[in-house]
Amino acid sequence: MLFLHLFVAVLFAAGFWLGSELGLGSFDEASGMDWMDYFYFSLINVTTLGLGDIYPTQHLRVLAGIEALTGFALISCSAQLFWKMMAKGEDE
């Protein structure tokens, strides 16, 4: 499951990079963003932690919202799967 969460974060990081390159928005970083900055923001956003040290502007805010909802759904599904595995182990 952890791999799936990281994979989603990488996909959204690529989406943020592509959106920035296409001029759909930017980030508040004045010095520019590199790949690790996009991945860092995506990882913080997909876990719904939301530190706020980097934030998107313009249309990339919509992508950030979609990523947060996706992350919340993934975390919920992972928790449910973990709960079922633990309950199944208790019954045996």
What does the pLDDT read at residue 9? Answer: 93
- DSSP-derived 3-state class of residue 10: helix
Average pLDDT per consecutive 10 residues, the chain (92 residues; last block may be shorter):
88 93 82 87 89 88 94 92 83 60
What does the pLDDT read at residue 91? Answer: 62
What does the pLDDT read at residue 92? Answer: 59
What does the pLDDT read at residue 15? Answer: 94
For the chain, which residues make up each domain, given as ranges?
26-87
What does the pLDDT read at residue 49? Answer: 85
